[in-house]
Structure 1
Amino acid sequence: MDIILVPGLWLEASSWDDVVPALEAAGHRPLAMTLPGVGEPAERSSGIGMSDWVDAVVEKIDAADGPVVLVGHSGGGNVVWGAADARPDRVARVVFVDTVPPPPESAISEFELVDGVVPFPGWDFFPDEDVFDLDAQTRARTTPLTRSVPARVPTDPVRLSDGRHRVPVTMLMGGMDQQQLEAELDNWGSYAEEYRAIADVTVEKIGSGHWPQFSQPERLAALINDAAGQ
């Protein structure tokens, strides 16, 4: 199975390096992506928005010989959901890594601009529940892997039409099981409606913070392998 790995904000294809070998060992063909404009200055990235990131994934779907599994971490979840919406008949499953399917017209979040781009704010920016399992050594190793993202991307709405709800979904949540997730979604309005509109959804708890590809790559790979085999 072709598995397209889409990172969240500030990360490149290299963020999947510790996950890829186990996917390959299981017989899959993983493709880790670096999305357009990541690491580029404002003069080369200011025109890039969410639709460009979605289009980049759709291009990889179209290039595959058969159905693909899309994996989106964090903000990459918006990207893969947009791509699944564009190609529902070509996507065997969407795997969300510590994020949820976004409803139409929703965005990732808003972050400070510096020199016309959105730089990585540093690990200390995030709540402890997101980074508790990233020790000092891991933080030192992974910080150089981060890159700025185009200014528009975090606040650009994802455009969705129809068809995506029939694509099977697996949600790999860092610290929540299905019951906890559904209780949380009850407070999120349209996000709860989007979740409940999906015909086939499975929720698995990773037992990690927000970046399991760094803290628990073996477990994350095993869960992705399981999802790809469903």
Structure 2
Amino acid sequence: MKIDIVTIFPEMFTGVFSSSMIKRAQDTGAVTIDITDFRKYSPNKHHTVDDTPYGGGGGMVLKPEPIFFAVESLLEKCNSKRPARVILTSPQGEVFSQEKAIELAREEHLVLICGHYEGYDERIRQHLVTDEISIGDYVLTGGELPAMVIVDSIVRLLPGVLGNEQSAENDSFRNGLLEYPQYTRPAEFRGWKVPDVLLSGNHAKIEEWRRKESLRRTLLRRPDLLQKAELNERDQRLLQKVKEEMGNA
């Protein structure tokens, strides 16, 4: 996968993209990430990238020329077989989800545009981008942090990045539910014991326990997810048991 980040603050990405999993993914060739300063594409001799909005109002608006020129240059250089997805980080966009991360992880080339100031010239939205993504219903200073979040969630899904493919398969939200509780050694700590079933070696029982606890945690913390989750007959039976146990608690 090829990921291009278009920003006026390229230095913000140095620490995040040069450590941990994202660095490892780049070292192994699973992904190539390049940062482009779109200020360099400004046709103005002062490299201006923003201006006051037509019609008046507070704040500054990003001009179309630098962003169009930067993105178009990147698209011309890339030789991916499929058209790139050009993503605008914006509080007005589709709220990012694990489902969206999985969708984008199947692409060959992503371009993320990081905004700043009051907003973007509307022509960028209308004629350049393919997706607008928000990471939540709040406003940040710029689009750099959302871009980091989006890239991190996508890169970890690429083949071979995590090392253990089951790690991504069992993630919260991957199957519409929250992940089940996890335990490791020691089997007892300060009197708190690991559930006996996890020490039993009975894989069928363990799998059933995990599914049941996943349903329990989702019911307790995010009941809204259960309304959209695809539950089979066994899930329905386990969920009913969870409700009965909670009713008797």
Whose Rg is larger?
2
TM-score (norm 1): 0.37
Structure showing greater relative contact order (alpha-carbon pairs closer than 8 Å, 6 or more residues apart): 1
